[in-house]
Amino acid sequence: MSGKQKYPHLFAPLDLGFTSLKNRVLMGSMHTGLEELENGFERMAAYFAERARGGVGMIITGGISPNLEGGLGAKLSTSEEAAQHKLVTNAVHAADPDVKICMQILHMGSLARNKDAVAPSPVRPRIASAAPKELTQDGIEKQLNDMANCAVKAKEAGYDGVEIIGSAGYLLSTFLVEKTNQRTDEWGGSYENRMRFPVECVKRIREAVGEKFIVIFRIAAMDMLDGGMSWEEIVQLAKKIEGVGATIISTHFTWHEAAVPTIATMVPRAAFASVTGRLRKELSIPTITSNRINMPNVAEAVLANGDADLVSMARPMLADPDLVQKTLEGREDEINTCIACNQACLDHTFTGREVSCLVNPRACHETLLNYEITSNPKKIAVVGAGPAGLSYAEVAARRGHKVTLFDAASEIGGQFNLAKKIPGKEEFYETLRYYKRMTEVRDIEVKLSTIVDADLLRNSGFDEVVIATGIEPRIPDLDGITHEKVVGYVDVIKGRKQVGKKVAIMGAGGIGFDVAELIAHKGKSAALDIDTFANEWGIDFKNHPRGGVTGVEPKVEAADREIYLLQRKLTPVGRGLGKTTGWTHRIALARRGVKMMNGCDYLKIDDEGLHLLMGGEQQVLDVDTIILCAGQTPLRSLYDELDGGDIKVTLVGGAYEASELDAKRAINQASYLAAAV
């Protein structure tokens, strides 16, 4: 069956009157950091053109500010700036004239990190360091005119339209909410007044750009704030925005301050689509839904259910620029799926680093990392089929090398086979499916259940050997460490060792947290069930109280064992976890009753339990199980044996360096090395 037959809704064109979209998939807006780089426009041109070639119907750029107060380094207010953007629009239209590209206008308001930050009222957001200046009447006029001017310049730059962000805690949305809009003039007070600024903004933009230009308004359809917007207010605003000339309403589901995860991997796929579905019924213009729609079957189901006219896939387009084309050609099993980890995208945005993607290091690096066909094909052995070995093998074979991939285990994946068992990390199955399929597509010879030794490598005629053998769990040097109470995380995750009712987890890194989640968890994984997710995070999808969360208590089943998650450092437990996801793991464990303790000086283990020194006081945790999650050391004996011999040998992933290793680094390093072999 062709992709068009299998996904009839996804591949149906959308008539917008003056123009049309070739299918229902758009690449949602993501700030990548390229916007502010010196050669950023060249890199953005390559990045977006690759997605246009990959079949997406419409692209929304990362946010661009209309003026200095807008807060981003990237601003569009002059014709000179517009000329630079033409690099991007020309590249996209040259790649496929049917693909539309719209520029997002982002005025950060009180979240702007500069001294010019402005807002309806001087209310400091929880995540900002200073309060913004209150806008004067003239200031409001200026912002509105600058927004309209920005849209005109976007048109001049060759964009097919603009998206105005009216959500997430940025300027427009702060006018809507009483907490952030305390004005008493015509721009504040009643809801009619609070809506005036965003509505006026869309009105002026439409007037300035004329009729034949796409104008998308991004609305907070569920802002996740205690006391946030009510359903009636959202509908009223959407109708007004439609009335003043928006072409499309795009739904958004958060403010940056919200304490509910909305895109992390533990959020079920398409969890919020039903909210868009309700709004769609109130409007006559098309709607876009978003959040955790990462595979074509999910998108098709959302559209078929009538929940939206278009689906936004943002991070999935980082993970695989060819997602739509692969779907069209019936090659869905070749899609490199976004696992919603945020590790190389959002975590980088919020720590001022260039964005990329854990599963696709080429994302945003299209001009820097290319997999060219080799003129000198080699016979390469890759030992270890974890993320490092798999990505090395895939890239090298794609380039024309003849690759044999070995693993001692009976399945590919290395530690990802442990990660996939953690509740909330089910998306890791997709990465394993992708790599398995790639071994077939790239004609990689896979030899499983094979413990490789140096002789095998020396005697098999390989030109090069890549050692991707990963790590060994660290065993701390501690009196009593061989006691029968002590178990390793591998045995626990694989279910090979029983865990008792009172447990100490020694080590609170990523694996310590995951093991705590595993042994504390009861019932369904929230990631696989929208009702469970809603219960755990206190969301009422049915009644939609203010913000979707007001007055709703999270309901989490406490663990049926006592769990202590311990570390030696004095820093708060979990500080080293991902910037945008760490807080969700801390909250999830705390709600299950896990006790997190820092500053633990381990003394010994015996029949009584784990002896500790904490704050100078000696104490015993009378636990029946102690799980070691104390970091890892490289497993590289094969390398040491082969190094200096006749065959060129390269180390990659955990075998190269175990400290602070994660899959992002393993895949990135392997891809760059394989691109150069």
- DSSP H stretches of helix in 229-351: 231-243, 273-280, 296-304, 315-319, 323-328, 346-349
Catalytically annotated residue among 170, 392, 564, 639: 170
Tell me, yes or no, if 392 is annotated catalytic. Answer: no
Q: Which one among 511, 621, 627, 670 touches ligand NAP, defined by CB under 6 A?
A: 511
- Smallest distance from the beta carbon of 423 to ligand NAP, in angstroms? 13
Rounded Cα distance, 168 and 172, in Å: 9
Q: Judged by CB under 6 A, does residue 316 bind ligand NAP?
A: no
Q: Which one among 514, 519, 536, 539 touches ligand NAP, defined by CB under 6 A?
A: 514
Q: Judged by CB under 6 A, does residue 205 bind ligand FAD?
A: no
Q: Judged by CB under 6 A, does residue 432 bind ligand SF4?
A: no
> How many residues make contact with ligand NAP (CB under 6 A)?
23
Rounded Cα distance, 662 and 343, in Å: 10
Q: Identify what 339 binds: ligand SF4, ligand FAD, ligand NAP, none; CB under 5 to 8 Å per kind.
A: ligand SF4
Residues within window 475-534 making contact with ligand FAD, judged by CB under 6 A = 493, 510-511, 514
Q: Residues near 228 by Cβ (< 8 Å), separated by ≥ 6? A: 177, 220, 255, 546, 547, 548, 549, 550
Q: Judged by CB under 6 A, does residue 630 bind ligand NAP?
A: yes
Nearer to ligand SF4, 413 or 547 (CB): 413
Q: Judged by CB under 6 A, does residue 419 bind ligand FAD?
A: yes
Nearer to ligand SF4, 298 or 358 (CB): 358
Stretch that binds ligand NAP, among 14-22, 108-116, 360-368, 562-570 (CB under 6 A): 562-570
Residue 288: phi, psi to the nearest 5?
A: -115, 135
Q: Judged by CB under 6 A, does residue 589 bind ligand NAP?
A: no
Burial of residue 477 (CB within 10 Å: 0-12, 13-18, 19+) is: exposed
Q: Identify what 357 binds: ligand NAP, ligand FAD, ligand SF4, none; CB under 5 to 8 Å per kind.
A: ligand SF4
**Which amino acid is residue 386, in one-letter code?**
G
- Smallest distance from the beta carbon of 317 to ligand SF4, in angstroms? 8
Nearer to ligand FAD, 206 or 425 (CB): 425
List, in sequence order, every beta strand (DSSP E) within 441-538: 445-447, 464-467, 471-473, 486-488, 502-506
Nearer to ligand SF4, 357 or 573 (CB): 357
| x/- letters, 456..475, toward ligand NAP (CB under 6 A) | ------------------x-
> How many residues make contact with ligand FAD (CB under 6 A)?
38
Stretch that binds ligand FAD, among 100-108, 159-167, 216-224, 464-472 (CB under 6 A): 464-472
Handedness of CA 294, 300, 306, 308 (dihedral sign): positive
Tokens of residue 220, six digits: 């907070």
- Smallest distance from the beta carbon of 597 to ligand NAP, in angstroms? 11
Q: Judged by CB under 6 A, does residue 295 bind ligand SF4?
A: no
How far is residue 473 from each of residues 421, 628, 655, measured CA to CA in Å?
A: 18, 8, 12
DSSP structural state of residue 75: B
- Smallest distance from the beta carbon of 459 to ligand NAP, in angstroms? 34
Stretch that binds ligand FAD, among 15-23, 160-168, 384-392, 605-613 (CB under 6 A): 384-392
How far is residue 304 from each of residues 8, 225, 296, 298, 323, measured CA to CA in Å?
A: 9, 30, 12, 10, 19
> How many residues are recorded in the chain?
677
Q: Report the first-to-last Cα separation within the chain, whole angstroms.
A: 39
Rounded Cα distance, 201 and 145, in Å: 8
Rounded Cα distance, 354 and 361, in Å: 11
Burial of residue 652 (CB within 10 Å: 0-12, 13-18, 19+) is: buried
- Residue where the block lists tokens 């009510």: 230
Residues within window 319-378 making contact with ligand NAP, judged by CB under 6 A = 343
Nearer to ligand FAD, 95 or 409 (CB): 409
- Residue where the block lists tokens 């072999």: 677
Q: Which one among 311, 357, 412, 666 touches ligand SF4, defined by CB under 6 A?
A: 357
Nearer to ligand NAP, 121 or 581 (CB): 581
3-state secondary structure of 666: helix
Residues within window 311-350 making contact with ligand SF4, judged by CB under 6 A = 315, 318-319, 338-345
In this chain, which residue has its C-beta nearest to ligand NAP? 509
Tokens of residue 364, six digits: 């945003």
Stretch that binds ligand NAP, among 271-279, 550-558, 623-631, 639-647 (CB under 6 A): 623-631
Q: Judged by CB under 6 A, does residue 577 bind ligand SF4?
A: no
Tokens of residue 652, six digits: 């990659």
Closest CA to 255 of 177, 345, 191, 338: 177
Q: Which one among 244, 499, 629, 666 touches ligand NAP, defined by CB under 6 A?
A: 629
How far is residue 4 from each of residues 9, 10, 100, 475, measured CA to CA in Å?
A: 8, 8, 20, 54
Closest CA to 361 of 345, 380, 385: 345
Nearer to ligand FAD, 161 or 634 (CB): 634
3-state secondary structure of 606: strand
- Smallest distance from the beta carbon of 59 to ligand SF4, in angstroms? 16
Nearer to ligand NAP, 133 or 568 (CB): 568
3-state secondary structure of 508: coil
3-state secondary structure of 207: helix
351 CB neighbour count, 10 Å cutoff: 10
Tokens of residue 371, six digits: 């997999």
Nearer to ligand FAD, 188 or 634 (CB): 634
Nearer to ligand SF4, 345 or 563 (CB): 345
- Smallest distance from the beta carbon of 280 to ligand NAP, in angstroms? 35
Nearer to ligand SF4, 67 or 342 (CB): 342
Q: Judged by CB under 6 A, does residue 348 bind ligand FAD?
A: no
DSSP codes joined into one string, 327-385? HHTT-GGG--------TTTHHHHTTT-----SS-TTTT-TTT---PPPSS--EEEEE--
Stretch that binds ligand NAP, among 248-256, 330-338, 456-464, 626-634 (CB under 6 A): 626-634
| x/- letters, 617..636, toward ligand FAD (CB under 6 A) | ------------------x-
Q: Judged by CB under 6 A, does residue 316 bind ligand FAD?
A: no
- Residue where the block lists tokens 């006749």: 646
Q: Judged by CB under 6 A, does residue 574 bind ligand NAP?
A: no
Residues within window 115-174 making contact with ligand SF4, judged by CB under 6 A = none
Q: Which one among 21, 302, 383, 626 touches ligand FAD, defined by CB under 6 A?
A: 383
Rounded Cα distance, 158 and 174, in Å: 30
Q: Judged by CB under 6 A, does residue 510 bind ligand NAP?
A: yes
The binding site for ligand FAD (CB under 6 A) comprises 341, 343, 383-389, 406-409, 414-416, 418-419, 422, 451-452, 468-471, 493, 510-511, 514, 635, 638, 653-654, 661-664, 666
The binding site for ligand NAP (CB under 6 A) comprises 343, 474, 476, 506-512, 514, 567-569, 576, 578, 629-632, 660-662
Which residues are part of the catalytic machinery?
170
The binding site for ligand SF4 (CB under 6 A) comprises 315, 318-319, 338-345, 357-359
